[in-house]
Chain A
Amino acid sequence: MISVVEQPSSDLAVGERGGPAQPLISVRGLVKHFPVKGTGFLKPKKVVRAVDGVDFDILKGETLGVVGESGCGKSTTARLLMQLMSANEGDILFDGEKVGGALPLADYRRQVQMVFQDSYASLNPRLTIEETIAFAPKVHGVPAQTAMARAHDLLHRVGLEPSRFAGRYPHELSGGQRQRVNIARALALEPRLVILDEAVSALDKSVEAQVLNLLLDLKRDFGLTYLFISHDLNVVRFMCERVMVMYLGKVAEIGSRYAIFEETRHPYSSALLASMPKMDPSERTLEPPLSGDPPNPIDPPPGCRFHTRCAFAEPVCSEKTPGLATVSAAHSAACLMSVPGSGHSRAPVMAEA
């Protein structure tokens, strides 16, 4: 069991202590490797490098978008942030306090909640939706009746009339309604950060728009911070102030929405953008921006992980692993073309010291 190791540094509530400029979450050197089954005994031990050295910040009150293809580690990052699994290496700082160190895990848990992609699998089929929402507050010692009243209030807030829906079971609801319940459940502990892991991806487009509007309303009303994971760049562009592009367990590029969508620096981000279907049949895509599938994260390519699919790849790309290089104040890219003096022919010349 978790016990409180240290007293909180001040009387301020968790998440308020560092002041508005302190990032809500700082992730430093996060690594998660999964052993591959069937290896390691008489065979060389293999690991899936799901998350392989990731650093990023989530600022207070922002929506940080995470985009990338399957195997890029975005869902693993979410589960690590949620502490549903433990990282091999790296630290998570919540408002400047180390999670599991200065900030006990139990206190952190109340501050961070998650909405999953599969609206059905994330609801217990045997509980009514009011019971589902009231569960977490009850666990934290809220009296049953108060917890139930809070559940009804939240149902109302997410657009489900409590008198009609509170006593229903998940299989009696539509996908959009279930996802509203999941959102209400995530808000029941009054968290600061909500992780939305492909939360709208399984919904029909017209329902998706309704839920996105709801998320924006809730963010404003409850002062939330979102980590918004999605494969749909259009949705990310609409929802997020900052965007992080991931590729094979590493951050490829991170920056403001404008920087990522208008001043793209990483060739992978450009390819991802160019892969979105065009809405105008007269401007159809003629050439696929990338060929082949994303490589397997078990044996990622050496050097820059994207060099096997990159149109600008040079020999140096398979030798040097690019770190996140600052492009502008709010924009970094992990590409040798953005690192001065990296040896890539397109790299900017080294600035005079």
Chain B
Amino acid sequence: MAVASVDLPVSPAPAVKSPGFWSGVVRRLCRDPVALVALGLIVAIVLIAIFAPYIAPNDPSRGSMVRRLRPIGTAGYPLGTDDLGRDMLSRLIYGARLSLIMGVVPVPIAFLIGSTIGIIAGYAGGVVNTLIMRTVDVFYAFPSVLLAVALSGALGSGLTNALVSLTVVFIPQIARVAESVTTQVRKLDYVDAARASGAPALTIIRVHILGNVLGPIFVFATSLISVSMILASGLSFLGLGVRPPDAEWGLMLNTLRTAIYNSPFVAALPGVMIFITSICFNLFSDGLRSAMDVKS
């Protein structure tokens, strides 16, 4: 064991540490009532999904031919029953699980892959940029619904395949945002200063690029969660996502569409849930966007 005989450099004096960027974001977010309410609802929906077995009053899959399509307010079934006589409230509560998974899971995966592609293209510039971004544009040219349906159709129905196809749909969108933000940051003087200091490209990306581009990309990705939920519901609706009898809002909307004339309110309930959840994600990402603006 070597004996440390060299004097250690004088450790820097404790400095006044300013509140960091993220604590500022949280502080500004706390002043935005709309974003807070949206966040509260999202948390509530997530909690409901997690604790579904404890909250749901009935078994979501136990039906009865006798109790079909009961209206809202029926004793024991506060939100009525569906066309197979299953308790709507319980199905909506359980449905939150799959709906949230399908809405939320593709986005972080696409965020990782898309950001990587976009940041590389944006930082490299020139020919590399052109090659990557034109390839991305090919995917981007398809309307996202069409692409999701086509991919799911090709891969076959099922939860995993639906998740894969949604992820693929979002990668080009995130990559484009990542590329444009990175291209902007790349031109700033502090990146030039870092290049002038002789730092390798990966170090510059890690220290100077990532911190300044991930925020805006993250905000954009958050707004995709609501799109993802609606697309996922659409896939289930077309029979390409979750398969019956599992409860999922899009699928429920599909199966109840035949009952729209008999009990319209009950049939609309899954749609209302999709609407509320996606709008909450949208409002929250809007709030996040303004909270991340340092100048505000």
- Whether the Cβ atoms of A130 and B212 lie closer than 8 Å is no
- Whether the Cβ atoms of A167 and B193 lie closer than 8 Å is no
Q: Which residue on A lies nearest to B22, using beta carbons?
A: A126
Q: Provide the residues of chain B in CB contact with A122, threshold 8 Å.
A: 188-190, 192-193
- Whether the Cβ atoms of A139 and B294 lie closer than 8 Å is no
Give Cα distance in the complex from A127 to B20, angstroms.
9
- Whether the Cβ atoms of A121 and B189 lie closer than 8 Å is yes
- Whether the Cβ atoms of A136 and B18 lie closer than 8 Å is no
- Pick the interface stretch among B3-11, B64-72, B101-109: B3-11
Q: Provide the residues of chain B in CB contact with A140, threshold 8 Å.
A: 197-198
Give Cα distance in the complex from A42 to B197, angstroms.
41
User: Interface size (B, Cβ < 8 Å)?
Assistant: 30
- Whether the Cβ atoms of A139 and B203 lie closer than 8 Å is yes
- Whether the Cβ atoms of B12 and A113 lie closer than 8 Å is no
Instruction: Bits for A26-52, please: 1 = Cβ < 8 Å to B, else 0.
Output: 000000000000000000000000000
Instruction: Bits for B173-212, please: 1 = Cβ < 8 Å to A, else 0.
Output: 0000000000000001110111111111001000110011
Answer whether A149 and B189 are a contact pair too, CB < 8 Å, given A127-B207, A128-B18. Answer: no
User: B294 CB to closest chain A CB, in angstroms?
Assistant: 6
- Whether the Cβ atoms of A168 and B199 lie closer than 8 Å is no
Out of B9, B189, B198, name the residue touching A139 (CB < 8 Å). Answer: B198
Give Cα distance in the complex from A109 to B13, angstroms.
30
Q: Provide the residues of chain A in CB contact with B188, threshold 8 Å.
A: 121-122
Interface membership of B17, Cβ < 8 A: yes
User: B20 CB to closest chain A CB, in angstroms?
Assistant: 8
Interface membership of B16, Cβ < 8 A: yes
Q: Which residue on B lies nearest to A2, using beta carbons?
A: B198
Instruction: Bits for A89-117, please: 1 = Cβ < 8 Å to B, else 0.
Output: 00000000000000000100110111010
Q: Provide the residues of chain A in CB contact with B54, threshold 8 Å.
A: none
- Pick the interface stretch among A56-64, A158-166, A273-281, A312-320: A158-166
Q: Provide the residues of chain B in CB contact with A55, threshold 8 Å.
A: none
8 Å CB contacts to A: which residues of B263-283?
none
User: A272 CB to closest chain B CB, in angstroms?
Assistant: 27
- Whether the Cβ atoms of B189 and A130 lie closer than 8 Å is no
Answer whether A130 and B15 are a contact pair too, CB < 8 Å, given A82-B196, A84-B192. Answer: yes
Q: Provide the residues of chain B in CB contact with A185, threshold 8 Å.
A: 193
Out of A145, A162, A167, name the residue touching B9 (CB < 8 Å). Answer: A145
Out of A84, A135, A145, name the residue touching B199 (CB < 8 Å). Answer: A135
- Whether the Cβ atoms of B9 and A149 lie closer than 8 Å is yes
- Whether the Cβ atoms of B8 and A145 lie closer than 8 Å is yes
- Whether the Cβ atoms of B11 and A169 lie closer than 8 Å is no
Q: Which residue on A lies nearest to B187, using beta carbons?
A: A121
Q: Provide the residues of chain A in CB contact with B200, threshold 8 Å.
A: 139
User: A136 CB to closest chain B CB, in angstroms?
Assistant: 4
Out of A79, A121, A168, name the residue touching B16 (CB < 8 Å). Answer: A168
Give Cα distance in the complex from A182 to B195, angstroms.
14
8 Å CB contacts to A: which residues of B195-251?
195-200, 203, 207-208, 211-212
- Whether the Cβ atoms of B196 and A167 lie closer than 8 Å is no
Out of B18, B193, B197, name the residue touching A116 (CB < 8 Å). Answer: B193
- The secondary structure that dominates the B interface is loop
User: A68 CB to closest chain B CB, in angstroms?
Assistant: 20
User: B6 CB to closest chain A CB, in angstroms?
Assistant: 11
Interface membership of A124, Cβ < 8 A: yes
Interface membership of A172, Cβ < 8 A: yes
Give Cα distance in the complex from A188 to B9, angstroms.
16
- Whether the Cβ atoms of A146 and B9 lie closer than 8 Å is yes
Give Cα distance in the complex from A152 to B13, angstroms.
8
Give Cα distance in the complex from A128 to B211, angstroms.
12
- Whether the Cβ atoms of B16 and A171 lie closer than 8 Å is no
Give Cα distance in the complex from A189 to B34, angstroms.
48
- Whether the Cβ atoms of B16 and A124 lie closer than 8 Å is no
8 Å CB contacts to A: which residues of B142-200?
188-190, 192-200
Give Cα distance in the complex from A136 to B190, angstroms.
12
Interface membership of A118, Cβ < 8 A: yes
Interface membership of B261, Cβ < 8 A: no
8 Å CB contacts to B: which residues of A161-205?
162-169, 171-172, 182, 185-186, 188-189
Interface membership of A148, Cβ < 8 A: yes
- Whether the Cβ atoms of B21 and A126 lie closer than 8 Å is yes
Interface membership of A248, Cβ < 8 A: no
Q: Provide the residues of chain B in CB contact with A169, threshold 8 Å.
A: 18, 21
Q: Given A128-B17, A149-B10, list of 15 further CB < 8 A pairs?
A: A79-B192, A114-B192, A122-B190, A123-B190, A124-B207, A124-B212, A139-B198, A152-B13, A163-B13, A163-B15, A164-B16, A165-B15, A169-B18, A185-B193, A188-B197
15 residue pairs A–B, Cβ–Cβ below 8 Å: A82-B192, A113-B196, A116-B192, A121-B188, A124-B190, A125-B294, A126-B212, A136-B194, A139-B200, A140-B198, A165-B16, A166-B12, A167-B18, A169-B18, A172-B18
The 4 residue pairs across chains A and B that have the minimum distance between CB atoms: A136-B197, A122-B189, A166-B15, A126-B211
A positions within 8 Å CB-CB of B: 79, 82-84, 106, 109-110, 112-114, 116, 118, 121-128, 130, 132, 135-136, 139-140, 143, 145-146, 148-149, 151-152, 162-169, 171-172, 182, 185-186, 188-189
